[in-house]
Amino acid sequence: MDANVTAHIRAHLLEISQGQWRLLKLRAIHSGHVARVFRAHVHERGVEAPFTVFIKIQSLSGALDRQFQSYSREWQFYKSVRQQVLVRTPEAFFLDDAPETVGGILVLEDLSTNFDRGAYREMGPPVESQIQSNQDPSQTQNATRQRDYPLTIHRAAMASLAALHASPISPSKIPFRFEDNVRQLGPINGDEHQLMRETLGSDTADLFVSLGEEIAVDQGDLEPNHLGLIHCDARLGNILPQLGCPIVDWGDYCWGPAAFDLAFYFSAEQLDLNRIGECLTYYLTECQRLLSPHCKLSMDRLMADVRSFLPLVARTPTLLLAQPISATKAHYWRSMLHRTAVLWKALGS
């Protein structure tokens, strides 16, 4: 652990808590692409037992950090959006005055503990490797875990996504649009195109690039009920079934097409066609329950929308494969990239 980082967090935590919180222990966990992430054991004045929180520090050291500005976006989520979503999310205990605060930190609830500031009880095995960390599930789980999850896990995730998408929030309250996310991705470069060709084959890769560029310009004639607050990194590293499926890691959210979240999830978790149909049926049932009588979603349209966004979903693993990453991460993202093409072809048959 970098002593300067520890000292910075210790001093900043003491300042923003107005002397009420004292850092006892700090452990770095897997950092996301736009923030450094730590699990901190802290003690609050007047409370007997310590508890844990997650701390994110804005990082501007890499190209992805500058490209996506996800720390600022997450700060905005906890500042003005979180209170209006229907799905459980971590509580933010401390926010800086502005996301641009140099060296600022975001202090978030550790959902893996029964947090009541008076008790400290672990709920099962620690999951800090996933919560608030954007960790690839393949780093700590068997490589086949996506396909091995029972349907009940995926149904629970669908319920959380349906609740998120049905959240009664005005688009005017969301400062980011799906087109902003697409614009941040930027045009695919030569290295990324070559990676896609190596994984998918030239014909499929070229078609995906072309379709992805079309989506960037025209997102189709989506009906209002097909739009809502979306997460944009919907996978079981960020939807936590072991904790009742809260959703974490809000650095990419925006107002956009619900089908993108579903397409991302099905690709990331490598679901086969039978499970996709069952998941969409359950998702649609939940949406109708939450939005009735205003839900105008149909299974055929939902399936078609999911397929249409797969070429754009493929941009995320391609982008990350072009970065310096470990062999384990590369395997995870390459598998997801391959799965987007498999699903695109299967859903079109």
> Does 71 fall in a domain?
yes
**pLDDT mean over 118-139:** 33
At 203-256, the pLDDT tens digits run 999 999 998 877 766 655 555 558 899 999 999 989 998 888 999 999 999 999
Check whether residue 100 and residue 145 sit in a common domain: no
> Does 114 fall in a domain?
no
**Residue 92 — φ and ψ, nearest 5°?**
-95, 115
> Does 273 fall in a domain?
yes
Check whether residue 152 and residue 285 sit in a common domain: yes
Number of domains the chain is built from: 2
Tokens 């690709």 found at: 267
Task: Return the amino acid letter for 327.
Answer: A
Residue 87 pLDDT: 95
Tokens 């004639």 found at: 221
> Does 121 fall in a domain?
no
Query: How many of the other CB atoms lie within 10 Å of CB of 7?
Result: 11
Dump strand ranges (E) for 195-252. 227-230
Residue 23 CB-half CA count within 13 A:
21
Residue 279 CB-half CA count within 13 A:
29
Band of residue 15 on the pLDDT scale cut at 50, 70, 90: confident
> Does 244 fall in a domain?
yes
Which one, of 33, 324, 289, 275, lies nearest residue 146 by Cα?
Answer: 275
Check whether residue 8 and residue 141 sit in a common domain: no
Check whether residue 175 and residue 324 sit in a common domain: yes
> Does 118 fall in a domain?
no
pLDDT for residue 114 is more than 70: no
**CATH number of the domain residue 156 falls in:** 3.90.1200.10
Check whether residue 96 and residue 166 sit in a common domain: no
Q: Can you give the length of the chain in residues? A: 349
Check whether residue 53 and residue 184 sit in a common domain: no
Check whether residue 89 and residue 160 sit in a common domain: no
Residue 164 pLDDT: 97
Q: Is 120 left (phi over 0), alpha (psi -120 to 50) or beta?
A: beta
> Does 243 fall in a domain?
yes
Check whether residue 181 and residue 290 sit in a common domain: yes
At 282-309, the pLDDT tens digits run 999 999 899 877 777 889 989 999 999 9
> Is 126 in contact with 135 (CB distance < 8 Å)?
no
Mean pLDDT comparison of 3-7, 55-59, 311-315, highest-scoring range: 311-315
pLDDT for residue 199 is more than 70: yes
**CATH number of the domain residue 16 falls in:** 3.30.200
Check whether residue 211 and residue 331 sit in a common domain: yes
> Does 60 fall in a domain?
yes
Tokens 């939005």 found at: 291
pLDDT for residue 85 is more than 50: yes
Which sign, positive or negative, has the C-alpha torsion 199, 203, 206, 210? Answer: negative
- Domain-ending residue, one of 58, 90, 109: 109
Residue 103 to residue 87: CA distance in whole angstroms: 30
Q: Which domain holds residue 14?
A: 3-109
Check whether residue 240 and residue 174 sit in a common domain: yes
Could you tell me the two tokens for 258? 């619900």
Check whether residue 271 and residue 163 sit in a common domain: yes
> Counting Cβ atoms within 10 Å, is residue 50 exposed (0-12), middle (13-18) or buried (19+)?
middle
Check whether residue 253 and residue 161 sit in a common domain: yes
